Structure 1
Amino acid sequence: MSMDDELRRSMTVQADGLVDVGSLLSRSTSRGRVLRRYRRLAVASAVLAVLGVGVGGSVLAWPTSGQPGEIVGGTGVDGQGLAGVPMPPSVAGRPTVLEDPGVLGSDPTLLHLSVEVEPSVLAALQPASSVGGPAPATGWASTAGSEYLSLGSPIAVDFWAGPWALEQKRGFTRQGAVTVDGKPAEVYVAARQRLIVWEPVPGVSVAARGINGTTEEVLAAAAAGLRFDRVSSCAVRFASPAPPPAAALSRCDTNVTDEGIASGGRLVYRRADGSTLDIRDRGGEPSRETPNAEVAGHPANWRTGDVQGVSGDILTVDLPGGRNVLVLITGSFTREEVEAFVAGLTWS
């Protein structure tokens, strides 16, 4: 799928819905790595929502470029070692969802979902790698009371936790009931897709959906492996300057590769009038746009983002060190504000 197609799908999603939030971040920003590993497989694209409410806070940048993340694992109920899954840096001293369900999605700089599964499940989510190889890519998002986790690429299981979990049932038909880690759950189907919805923590709804050929067995096993006993930082590879006036951080996305390395990030700033400044680290993939401007001396391209009635602008900037950022701008943010913000980014 071309970047224009990805942008079209991203920008036409309703601003108040969270649907397939892993596309341009947890899959497309690591496109180069995915293509190296899966040259013969099609990389999935999903819809990214531009959403959130104003929440203050700073986002941790990874200490050094390519800094490995933590590898989290454990012991299964049958004594078999659980496969290690790369995670963003942990944050000590903050309540988990088990301790306070209200912390879910309350701060876009913090993540509260993790997953631990058997090695066979990870093997099914990394078809180009042998059993026992590196864990598949993981991606997270936090915004407006909901959080998201994606495990695997291109075969994957996507999790939504919080109010938007129930929204995932749209277009699905209830098929029956099962249990997930001892908790009652409902199963929904649509075409060849399968969705499991349950409450692993009282008051916290979760939806798990398999994509690109995830089997029912793998989906159920991944759902049972979802955990809420950890707090992580939504760490990205860049540190941002102070946002433009009247704007506040409303959303953060990050992803960790199968090698445990941060390979992309996304920050969304929002104003009370609904205007959004959505900046995305696209890894080392060049923009391939013909420069028509400069930002802090770096080649850049401005173009209209008017797609299917959604008004906005798109800025891409090629930065030193093989870095590229893409910015979606809607509403009252001016070109001068956006260029000054991008010029002020510092990179780890």
Structure 2
Amino acid sequence: MEMNPLFLERLEKVRKTIAFENDSVTTCYMGSATPPAHMDVTMAEYTRDPEKGLDTLLGYVNEINDVAPVDCLNFGYMLKPNVALATAWLSKITMPGRELPENSLWQVLEKKVMQDEDYDLVVEKGYDALFEKVLPQVIDMREFQEFIQYNRENGARDAEKYIDACYPVVTASMISPPFEQLCGARSMGQFYMDCYKKPDKVKAALDVMQPAIVNSAIGIAKAANGIGTWVGGWRGASALVSPKVWDKLVWPYMYDAAMKLIENGIAPIFHLDQNWDRDIERFLELPAKTCILNTDGMTDLRNAKKKLGEHMAFMGDVPSQLLATGKPEEVSEYVKRLLDDIGIKGVFLAPGCDAPANAKFENMVAMFKTAVEYK
């Protein structure tokens, strides 16, 4: 298909930003659950009807773009969060309009679904054996098949909608590292205990799971001709685990995933929730100007800039609470101070982690308008 020149211009700007060659801030939309309230759609409708959900997302971004240009989306519409997130975390996700009220946000149901003996199952029979045992405990498998079928039949059409709207989508696939998946399947408290009581058994399982997880994400990104792939960092954050656990069970797998992506021409997007200050310098181990650091407001972005310099691009970092409860003037001031401190080169201006469901529309506009006008 013939692509709109504006789409190609924005796509090139994304690539230049990763390489620190951009001449202005790159505005990047993030807000999986933000559009429904403003667009007068219930959260249940938004998550239940993929066509309506995608059109609602694009309509919302278009309204922002009419006032302040949006250069890209970090990720597209999340089809069936209860399926997408269950496969990433091996946990049950409760949904609006089902277990929850119509306008509630989807929620992770914390419960141990992986038993002690399942570590041996992974090591002896592979990742697929664990996946096939655990997944039916956290999701209706008919819905999982519907999810696969929808993507197969409508993925290309939906991709064209982003292209026609002139929004490159930076993230083409997601890697939920094995540490994160086991943490979801075992439950957080139990898995942290496993990391101390039987670290070698945990590591043996991680070693088996890693190639399957990474290779799947690479295949999806290549099929989509994508720019980047999320490498998730949630419960493996520096603030949540000891240096000993982090060095042995977290970082080696994030590093390996990133290197495999880079070898395949895909930019790793480190989505880092919680605080990663303690270990931020470890990201210098990766090749320069190939990655994006996507923080959520808890990692000190100014300190990260001081430590990492122009080694990797930054995505963020307007706090969710400010977008939800602040005033446009406060949002604008935050953005100005942030850009004063970290500069514009290699910067994707975006919400920290993700804009919340209750973000004020005027604050979303103020965030991007300030970035576009920043000199």
TM-score scaled by structure 1? 0.23
Higher strand proportion: 1
Higher helix proportion: 2
